[in-house]
Structure 1
Amino acid sequence: MSAGFDNGGATPRPSWSPPRPIPPPHASAPPQGSALHTSASAQWAAGAAPGRASAPWAAAGPAAGGEPEGGPPRELYGTAPVPAPPYPRPAGERGPVGVAYPAGPVPPPPPAHPPAAAWSSPVPPSAQPPYPPRPPHVPTHAARARPRTAAAALCLVLGLGLLGGAGAGVWINHDPAAPTPTAAEASRRDFALARGLWHSTPVDTLFPATLYGKGLGPGGAERTWTRIGVAPAGDCREAFDPLLAKVLRPAGCVKLLRATYADATSSAVTTVGLLVTKAEAPTMRTLHNRWISERLGSRGDLMPRPVAFPGTVADGFGDRQRASWTVTLAADLPVVVYAVSGFADGREIAVPQPAASAVSAGATTAPAQAGLGHEADALADAVADRARRAAGSLTATPTGGSG
């Protein structure tokens, strides 16, 4: 059809005009009951009523029955738009009602898959927004292994530090460049350390509260002694008979330690003493040899004195109650150990007997028959053994110092 709509005598308008771009649908919903729900394509197909001029485009709509200026009305709220022919059609082919396509060659059919829309086409890398770098993936087991690895490394460092400290201590204490001490120097060192036993060794170590002697009584009988009291550490004045004090004078006196014991029957009491001397090894060896060679231990005028403790079974233990005794001078330690025993009832003994004679077979004296020789001998040996062990620990670990 060559003629268009009746424009009321105006210049005839072409039956087809280029399509206008279709904007996207409006974001808001249409009002209820509005005439905009009428299909734009139906208005376009109806056209104007015969013999009636079309109203201007400004009043176009269902009531005016007009057509928008410049082409068919726009798509409204979800209705399908009327496709405008973008290319010529063959002569005689008709489009929608009221639209005639111009004649022309038939164009090739559109591609089966139109190009992708602009928002679906790939964005060049330069146009992509910058993103922060993705953190590296750390496996769970690796995260758990980190604390264990750190703990193992710490233990290794501590262990190496301890080993290094120990090695340094060994190197310092045992410097290979240090000269080896002579025998005399080593002896002086040991004697100086052993003199510290009187203040480095507990009283209960040297003089235990209870002492046991298996086979140390007469006939191999067992013996048990209970400590009655311990005298304060003091000097050697009034501790020996005058002649014994004179014999021991070269040894000197650092401290004198004494305690008194009673046997299990409380019938015998014994004072045991430990004298720490000032003498060095040569002097102690000389005194030891003289004591043995001259048999000074059997002389009744070279006796040690007992220590009495009032209110005990040893209350009356004095010089006249001494029944048996023994004195030992060590040759390799700065100590003198002695013991003196007597009857607990306070009886006086006219002729005391040395322990070495009282313990001999066939001895018939009162001290021997009562076992007082065994008492003095056993207690002196027990304290001498404890003193030797204490001195040995001090010389092996130099912490005692000299007195």
Structure 2
Amino acid sequence: MSPGGVPGAGRPASVSFGEPERWPRPFARRTRGQVVAAAVCLVLGTGLIGGAVTGAWLADGPEGPGTRHAFAVAGDLWHEVPVDQLFPPTVQGRGAGPGEADRVWTRIAVAPDSGCKGAFDALLTRALAPVGCERLLRATYTDATQSHVTTVGLLFTEADAAGMEALARRFERERLDRRGDLMPLPYAAKDTAAEGFGPGQRASWAISVLTDAPVVVYAVSGWADGRTVDEPQPAEDAMRSGATTAPAQAGLGHEARGLADRFERALRQRAGTPTERPS
């Protein structure tokens, strides 16, 4: 069988020397040894073909080539990829701002990798509990004008693909990603533009529960001057045309969604996920 071919798709070429073979040959003229050898070859060949098919299914999974492998690779990224690659010093956001304006974000702080204890408000902790917490990585960025600050989080879970699918369905069904009492917490680092970025300064946010990786990606944005926000708004609502809330007018929904999308895309690329499924 040629590489990538299908068993039985073509006939082997026949090379003869001297008198042409008569096919099929009379069975009676074969020796006992020839018959036994032919039977053994048939059994071995069938076993090898069956083993190859089974091996390919185990490696790729029924979802598609490489799906299972990519899911596992994504779960290991937190301890295999350097922090400057997971959280680049600068992130380009072409067309990520209001009116498809370009954005550039600069990293100003990286939190030590940790567990999830105390990292989320109580209700969000409860909502994420079914998938567990393997590791939480966070970094905070500011925009080019240093007017806005945005914390990006990568929650590496302990769940398998079925667990992530179940959580994603629940978030979508109950619209948990739009509830103001389920906003992620920011990471406020001392002696940076995000020093005053606390719970009361959260203005807009985005949460994506991935189904092709054991990761929850989120981003939460606010003003760098530490002002409090009376009406936080989920990124999708703040990005709508005609939205008049303060976060919408300042483009803070675009800040949160723009960064979350780019980190989600970069994670998939590093894991080698073959397709980007809706999160």
1:384 alignment partner AA: E
TM-score, scaled to structure 2: 0.75
Residue by residue over 1:115-147, the C-alpha shift from the partner in whole angstroms, topping out at 9 and shown as x without a partner, is: xxxxxxxxxxxxxxxxxxxxxxxxxxxxxxxxx
Structure 2 distance, partners of 1:287, 1:293, is 10
Q: Which residue of 2 aligns with 1:210?
A: 90
Residue by residue over 1:204-249, the C-alpha shift from the partner in whole angstroms, topping out at 9 and shown as x without a partner, is: 2221111111111112211111100111111111221111111111
2:162 alignment partner AA: P
Shift of 1:192: 2.9
Q: Are the aligned partners of 1:205 and 1:386 in contact in 2 as well (CA < 8 Å)?
A: no
Residue by residue over 1:173-203, the C-alpha shift from the partner in whole angstroms, topping out at 9 and shown as x without a partner, is: xx86453234379765543332111111122
Shift of 1:312: 1.0
Larger displacement relative to structure 2 (318-327 or 229-238): 229-238
Q: Which residue of 1 aligns with 2:201?
A: 321
Q: Which residue of 1 aligns with 2:157?
A: 277
1:221-240 aligned within 5 A: 221-240=101-120
Distance 1:217 1:189, change over 3 A: closer
Q: Gaps spanning 5+ residues in structure 1: where?
A: 1-174, 396-403
**Total equivalences in the alignment:** 220
Q: Percent identity?
A: 56
1:107-126 aligned within 5 A: none
Partner residue of 1:332 out of 202, 205, 212: 212
Q: Which residue of 2 aligns with 1:385?
A: 265
Shift of 1:271: 0.1
Q: Are the aligned partners of 1:187 and 1:281 in contact in 2 as well (CA < 8 Å)?
A: no
Q: Which residue of 2 aligns with 1:201?
A: 81
1:327 alignment partner AA: I
Structure 2 distance, partners of 1:377, 1:296, is 16
Q: Which residue of 1 aligns with 2:170?
A: 290
Q: Are the aligned partners of 1:339 and 1:379 in contact in 2 as well (CA < 8 Å)?
A: yes
Matched, 1:241 2:154: no
Matched, 1:360 2:248: no
Q: Are the aligned partners of 2:142 and 2:148 in contact in 1 as well (CA < 8 Å)?
A: yes
Structure 2 distance, partners of 1:351, 1:238, is 24
Q: Which has the larger radius of gyration?
A: 1
Structure 2 distance, partners of 1:326, 1:368, is 14
Paired residue secondary structure (1:274): strand
TM-score, scaled to structure 1: 0.52
2:120 alignment partner AA: F
Greater relative contact order structure (CA < 8 Å, 6+ sep): 2
Q: Are the aligned partners of 1:259 and 1:272 in contact in 2 as well (CA < 8 Å)?
A: yes
Q: Gaps spanning 5+ residues in structure 2: where?
A: 1-47, 275-279
1:372 alignment partner AA: L
Q: Which residue of 1 aligns with 2:229?
A: 349
Structure 1 distance, partners of 2:206, 2:72, is 26
Q: Are the aligned partners of 2:165 and 2:211 in contact in 1 as well (CA < 8 Å)?
A: yes
1:141-180 aligned within 5 A: 177=51, 179-180=54-55
Matched, 1:376 2:256: yes
Q: Are the aligned partners of 2:231 and 2:245 in contact in 1 as well (CA < 8 Å)?
A: no
Matched, 1:258 2:258: no
Residue by residue over 1:302-333, the C-alpha shift from the partner in whole angstroms, topping out at 9 and shown as x without a partner, is: 11100011111111110000000010001121
1:15-164 aligned within 5 A: none
Q: Are the aligned partners of 1:208 and 1:227 in contact in 2 as well (CA < 8 Å)?
A: yes
1:223 alignment partner AA: R
Structure 2 distance, partners of 1:335, 1:282, is 13
Matched, 1:305 2:185: yes
